[in-house]
Structure 1
Amino acid sequence: MTEPLLQISNLEKHFGQSKGMFKFDPHAVRAVNGISLNVNEGATTALVGESGCGKSTAAKLISGALTPSSGEILLRTSDGGQLNVGTLKGSARKKLWRDVQLIFQDPFSSLNPRMTVRQIIAEPLRNFGIARGDAATKIVTDLLDRVGLQSTAMNRYPHAFSGGQRQRIGIARALAVNPRLVIGDEPVSALDVSVAAQILNLFQTLKKDLGLTYLLITHDLSVVRHSADRVAVMYLGQIVEENTTAGLFEAPRHPYTQALLSAVPDPSAKSKTRVVLPGEVASARNIPTGCAFHPRCALATDLCRSTAPKISTLPNGGRVACHTPLETASR
């Protein structure tokens, strides 16, 4: 069994005003509210949920851009040791940014418009003391070829490229430092469907050729259907279900997962019932008592309204946090 590259345990991130030592605003925004997740080396793990569920905050915590309120983020290093990401400071945090790279949602705003492609991709090489001059140019040329761009692109500026090409430039920049973990935060949501498919196929090719490990952040389950090995579903800062991609699509056990899957196009299905959830997602500043999903759940009981469900392991190896999990797939 592959060892986890990343181990997340009881991770929390609350945003709010402190009311003195050990006292915090009870109405603080609980963006990430106690998630635990393993990301296996060489695999693609997807974190899925509606806008505002906390998945992008989780990505920032894992990358070291934010400090956790509590919990642990352990990243296994190349020598077999572990880094506790949430405690890193100074030069240690800078080292983390070589091991963990992000690919952002908007491929244009993530690239400096005043820098050429050569400068954009070579910048991390210089910052981490990997290469300069001709050696850096050789690496940039190789990376452009690997992501499907010609070497003539290196002297042009970002505005000269399409959205898909800009995202390829962003991918090349992320790969320049040979990261151990690549986080894609909605990396194809700003692209046309056909271009998004090309980028997802590129992810798969790079994963196979370079042995990459991905954490893919998205609101769209159709994005991960053919590219992720495991999927974790988030709702209001918590993971409500996790399973292999096949297991999740074939037999969702949480009602929220069922609703998300009902919106995924499936040409092979003769008929499909769309599950429309009532109401709106509650505010992370005022999360409902008990199960956070109960105000929108048709199966909610008094137990759901009063007691938060613990996440339990399923016979097929998945996990679900639900008092009344679905017994079979509805698709």
Structure 2
Amino acid sequence: MNIVLLSGGYTERDVSLMSSKEVKNSLLRIGHKVTEIDIIDNEFLNYPLNKFDLVFNGLHGGIGENGVIQSICELKNIPYTGSPVLASAIAMNKVMAKKIFNSMNITIANSVVSNFNDIKINEPIERPFVIKPIDGGSSIGVHIIYENTNLNEIKLDNERFIVESYIEGKEIAVAVLQNKVLGMIEIKYDEAFYDYQSKYKSNNNKYIIPKDLNISHKRLLESYALSAHTSLDCKGVTRADFIVPYEESNKPILLEINTLPGLTKHSLVPKIAQNNDLDFDNLISKIIEDAFI
């Protein structure tokens, strides 16, 4: 198959380049012909896509994940990997996604939307809480506000953010592939939270199969992840990120769904796949298969 691989871009660029390197090597091993385009130079808009069989979307965040690239592919009538336009746009907007998840009876954290100046004047949620961008990824721009945190020392633009209750518990990611739960993984790390540095720079993280979950939590994690995937009409592979509170009587809490999860050596989805007897090349092949369904 003749495939164009989109990489780089402006947002989450480093992660995209790392993912695309692994994807390109895999595509070549499988036997595909690959042309890689870094969309930072805008050549993608003028590129003769009709000579390709497929666009493999190796971008993260921004126009690669919010429905723009997906719209261009549909206008040019070329198959592409990942979720369609509307699913991508909604999943990228955490406020809209939360509304849909709530309507599906998926447990989510208490949250409000506010600009940063208003947060400093009148904290809308009891501490500790989390400030996160409405449409960010890779934990970029996320801040945990503890009891002793001085908000005036945090440098953020006065734009709108999600302010969300901070909940302590196990961090678990669940992957859904081709509308089926692929598996889950628990993340243990040394930093205050699983931020960009922890995700892509640290070698001290531990990724384990969560064997000590009670059966109720395990079933809810699988059910919530699959419901989030299907309610948005996602395709390919998605990763749903959860907090499982230490208090076992509380339900798992869905934080967000990622429609273009990382495919780097450090990324969670390849680890989940490997733990479930699916090697990287077969994972990539299944992502491609779903683009034609």
TM-score (norm 2): 0.26
Q: Which has the larger radius of gyration?
A: 1
TM (norm. structure 1) is 0.23
